[in-house]
Amino acid sequence: MLPSEHTNTVDFDTARLQRLGYAQKQLPTLQPVSLAQLRQQLSMQLQTSLDAERILTIFRAESQRLVTFDSLSYVQDSTDMSLQLGETASHSTSYHLSHDGEQLGCLTFTRQQRFKEEELAELESLIASLVFPLRNALLYRLAVQSSLRDPLTKTGNRLAMDQSLQREVELAKRNQLPLSVLMLDIDHFKQINDNFGHHTGDEVLKAVAATIKSQLRNVDMVFRYGGEEFLVLLSGTCSEAAAMVGERLRHAVVSMQMPMHCQQLGLSISLGCAALQLGENTSSLLGRVDSALYDAKRAGRNRLRMAG
């Protein structure tokens, strides 16, 4: 963690929205560039995208024409966005961006030499051109995330699952890499709803989803398949390794602590595991892993079964 030698909260409540209609225009590169020229150019360039990473990449490249720095980093918690551009250095300056009470994240610049006051003033002026395009990009990012996320468990929804599974199957075939899926079901979930109520059932779903995610790699993907069923997509993973992951998930759920009315609510899951076969499509893969899950439940639950 770099010590921050300069931290500000920049609030652009009084800033005006930049006029529309310049999204497709590009100004010629001006060298040397003045602050006024660079702000004008940024105002147009930053409106050409709704991708937050693209916007920050443009901002970094253009702002370095006026103020040199080694790295730019950006963190915004509500959209799970974290971006690092360049190598961090010993001196830093950070800005907590906000507009009308809306938190837009933290922007940090670093370099080997201490920032001069006039350079900080120039950076703050340039940030004024960044705020509205970045805010629009964050709203777009949040909307996309909401459309692909299950609101209860914060896992991917069926739409996200269909898109991701199709993409990963195509990549696995193209690159001749292994791909495996786990389908799991919370055992006796209907009894939990019947005995303790649907609110408790919702808490169990959220807790199980969080436990599953805590046991996986960052590249693994979890989706709510429906009801109390989840699907885990394991790219680059063979069937043997996927079975080991499944057993780890099963033991983690059994070890969960869910106090309920002065007693511990015992939980377990049943799992099916399948690896993508040569020439197989997504429908066939899902069918096989679903059959394996059914076999696990029929065999007594709280176990994993491999697809044939």
Buried b (16+ CB within 10 A) or exposed e, 159-175: ebbeebbeebbeebeee
Retrieve residue 67's tokens: 């103020």
Listed residue (77, 44, 69) closest to 58, CA to CA:
44
Chain centroid offset of residue 99 CA: 23
Q: Going by C-beta distance under 8 Å and a sequence separation of 6 or more, which residues neighbour residue 216?
A: 222, 232, 245
On the question of a cis peptide bond just before residue 259, with omega within 30 degrees of 0, the verdict is: no
Q: What number of other Cβ atoms are within 10 A of residue 295's Cβ? A: 17
Residue from 228, 229, 240, 247 carrying the catalytic annotation: 228
Catalytic (active site) residue 119: no
Q: Which of 55, 286, 284 is nearest to 161 (CA)?
A: 286
> Which segments of 75-157 does DSSP mark as H helices, in order?
117-147
Strands 91-99 and 7-11 come out as parallel
Backbone angles phi, psi at 19, to 5 degrees: -65, 140
The CA-CA-CA angle for residues 165, 156, 52, to 5°, reads: 95
Radius of gyration of the chain (CA): 25
- Catalytic residue positions, numbered: 228
